[in-house]
Structure 1
Amino acid sequence: MAAFPVINMEKLNGEERAATMELIKDACENWGFFELVNHGISPEFMDTVERVTKVHYKKSMEQRFKEMVAKKGLESVQSEIKDLDWESTFFLRHRPVSNISEIPDLDEEYRKVMKEFAAQIERLAEELLDLLCENLGLEKGYLKKVFYGSNGPNFGTKVSNYPPCPKPDLINGLRAHTDAGGIILLFQDDKVSGLQLLKDGQWIDVPPMRHSIVVNLGDQLEVITNGNYKSVMHRVVAQIDGTRMSLASFYNPGSDAVIYPAPSLVDKEDNKDSYPKFVFEDYMKLYVGLKFQAKEPRFEAFKNTSNLGPIATA
């Protein structure tokens, strides 16, 4: 098995740019995941984000999670739990309208830090989208434009903690799934592992690296790239020791964005196997009930129901 792809973004600025772009291309085509180092978000700021996130969990969420576990009797289960994830989570929406002032129990420092974190992650996401455009032969800004819709992209951060689990063989931290959206940037705990992706029929650990950002591709990029890049099944394995922190930021199309394969990536001679055309919000409505199932039936469902007319070729 080839080593998990790690991209040093500093090398994009020098004579190793071409080789680094090739590494990104290979990661997108063959892994659906890669890890960024020297990505422009300072280690000191990432340490602050980690500190305030872990303090907030301890102060505001840990006890509630313990009460849920006790109420459901999860510590004494004897058979596999298939409809529940061993995670404590909440969602911060950044765009098109922030909800950060509405989330209870967030102190002012945490709100301020997470606003700045969102701004820096958004910049990085848009930089990555342009790197993907370059590798795909699309004009600069193509993916951002497709994602934009009428009100800009949907962008938010799922803040998760995965506490120690007494029965990790029976309860998943997070069940296997592909992500519905666009491009996902993850700042994860570097001390407690658990994230795995499915590659060539095997579950592969995504290595925890200090101050790195893990990137994975969502279903929408698979559609837009006409399958050149694919979203990949991944999961979180519960651990018996340690609480794993995860901040997954989702840079997704706007709700009314129309998603379809980029015309330049569609073989004009053989369009029948191309991906469907749909409105992102409609895809999300379907995804909600089918998240932990294979993605292919979701794509097929839209091939037969699209009423959006032919794909534009201009």
Structure 2
Amino acid sequence: MAACWPEPIVSVQALSQTGLSTVPNRYVKPAHQRPVYNSDAEMEIPVLDMSDVWEKPEGLRRVRSACEEWGFFQVVNHGVNHALMERVRGAWREFFELPLEEKRKYANSPETYEGYGSRLGVVKDAKLDWSDYFYLNYLPSSIRNPSKWPSQPPKIRELIEEYGEEVRNLCERLVKTLSKSLGLETNHLMKAFGGEDKVGASLRANFYPKCPQPHLTLGLSSHSDPGGITIVLPDENVAGLQVRRGDCWVTVKSVPNALIVNIGDQIQILSNGIYKSVEHQVIVNSGMDRVSLALFYNPRSNIPIGPVKELLTENQPALYKPIRFDEYRLLIRQKGPSGKNQVDSLLASR
């Protein structure tokens, strides 16, 4: 894989702060990829109370319904401290407000993506997204590189650690819940992931600057997440996340103190398509910046992931060819977000 970006990296936040009145051409999406504001006001992703879910048949049915029909849901009573959520979101906002030269000390490369960056994919002359981000490896703890973690603002490293551990606990609980909701043994999916002590996880803090022409660009292009499950701490003040629902894009309305959960491609593969990873994108705003934080909880990188045998029948054979997660992840790292192309490429019928 290329060790450097194909073009010089431009901070979108710095670009926005110049007060420009038009979006530079490299951020203008083709007409068919531009934001669509056709969300049905009555449509909202499901909200699940985790205290009503665990080991409760009706709660498991609601989980299954959310995963089959939406691939997204919000969780409340999730066990992550609300004040901690507010502090870690605030710390990342402070980081992005630091001088550019301070942030560039952590500049990333496409080799690992770890650090501060402004683009996904290494395709030359690609249309770029209107966002900056900071990406960190989190699990297993052996791959953490403290020198890559920001040292400013004060306490940000401790907050990342504390928040990461609480969300990790939620992920473990959710993977077991998904397993039960599929009619499998509680630990079946976790074993398929490689076991609690072998799973991978990474964090990405996203900064979506104000944009003079939000109808021409996207903060994050349409894609499904390549990993297992994703936990998003949204910006409660500015809506931005959109989920595909048929031919519509539904803008997610954040419930106070909720976290957003979405199914990744690896769960779609393991469930043999019973649960769907769903395309989503991020729209930007002309008047307000937006900050969100995503934790990606993934299978161990070096074991083949394929459909769970217990979910296969004569009428429903394996839909997907097994692939190691580290191989699979390279697809999005090289090409950037591209709808559902990654998981569709594994269809056994191809």
Q: For 2:156 and 2:209, how far apart are their aligned partners in 1?
A: 21
Residue in 2 aligned with 1:164? 210
Separation in 2, partners of 1:158, 1:231: 19
- Which residue number in structure 1 is paired with residue 88 of structure 2? 49
Residues 175, 296 of structure 1: alpha-carbon distance in 2 compared, 3 angstrom cutoff: closer
More deviation, 146-155/228-237: 146-155
Matched, 1:84 2:121: no
Residue in structure 1 matched with residue 17 of structure 2 by the alignment: none
What's 2:187 paired with? Answer: 141
Q: Please name the residue that 1:128 is paired with.
A: 174
Letter in 2 for 1:94: Y
Which residue identity is paired with 1:20? G
User: Distance in 2 between the 1:195 and 1:157 partners?
Assistant: 17
Q: Which amino acid is 1:275 matched to? A: Y
Deviation (angstroms), 1:210: 2.3
SS at match of 1:118: helix
The residue number in structure 2 matching 1:30 is 69
Is 1:284 matched up with 2:325? no
> CA 1:138–1:18 in structure 2 vs 1: closer, same or farther (change >3 Å)?
closer
**Residue in structure 2 matched with residue 9 of structure 1 by the alignment:** 50
Deviation of 1:83 after TM superposition, in Å, equals 1.2
Describe the SS at the equivalent of 1:25.
helix
Identity of aligned residues (%): 31
Matched with 2:115 is none
CA distance in 1, matches of 2:221, 2:257: 25
Could you report, residue by residue, the CA deviation over 1:126-177 in whole angstroms, capped at 9, with x for unpaired residues?
1000000111011111212111279712201101111111110112111111
Distance in 2 (alpha carbons) for counterparts of 1:195 and 1:150: 29
Distance 1:55 1:209 in 2: 24
Where is the helix percentage greater, Structure 1 or Structure 2? 1
**Whole-angstrom CA distance in 2 between matches of 1:151 and 1:46:** 24
The corresponding residue for 2:25 is none
Cα distance 1:42–1:182, how it changes in 2: closer, same or farther (>3 A)? same
Question: Any conservation in 2 of the 1:61–1:88 contact (CA below 8 Å)?
Answer: no
1:126 alignment partner, SS class: helix
Greater relative contact order (Cα 8 A, min sep 6): structure 1 or 2? 2
Q: Are the structure 2 counterparts of residues 210 and 178 from structure 1 closer, same or farther at C-alpha, using a change threshold of 3 Å?
A: same
Q: CA RMSD in A?
A: 2.6
| 1:183 to partner: Cα distance | 0.3
Give the unaligned 5+ runs of structure 1: 66-80, 306-314
Alpha-carbon deviation of 1:41? 1.1
TM-fit CA distance, 1:304: 8.4
Residue identity matched to 1:153: V
Aligned-partner Cα distance in 2 for 1:64–1:154: 26
Task: Give the Cα–Cα distance (whole angstroms) in 1 for the partners of residues 284 and 102 of structure 2.
Answer: 18
CA distance in 1, matches of 2:80, 2:330: 34
1:293 matched to which residue of 2? 338
1:13 CA displacement: 6.3
Q: TM-score, normalised by structure 1?
A: 0.83
User: Given the two structures, how large is their TM-score scaled by the length of structure 2?
Assistant: 0.75
User: Aligned partners of 1:13, 1:265: CA distance in 2, in Å?
Assistant: 21
Cα pair 1:9 1:37 within 8 Å, conserved: yes
Equivalent AA in structure 2 for residue 292 of structure 1: P
Deviates further, 289-298 or 83-92 = 289-298
Q: How does 1:163-312 map to 2 (within 5 A)?
A: 163-271=209-317, 274-296=319-341, 298-301=343-346, 303=348
Cα separation, partners in 2 of 1:302 and 1:18, compared to 1, 3 Å? closer
CA apart distance, 1:2 = 4.6
Shift of 1:207: 1.0
Following superposition, the deviation at residue 55 of structure 1 comes to: 1.5
Q: For residue 258 of structure 1, what is the amino acid of its counterpart?
A: P
Counting matched residue pairs gives 287
Q: In 2, Cα distance between the equivalents of 1:59 and 1:296? A: 37
Q: Check 1:3–1:300 CA distance in 2 against 1; reply closer, same or farther (3 A cut).
A: closer
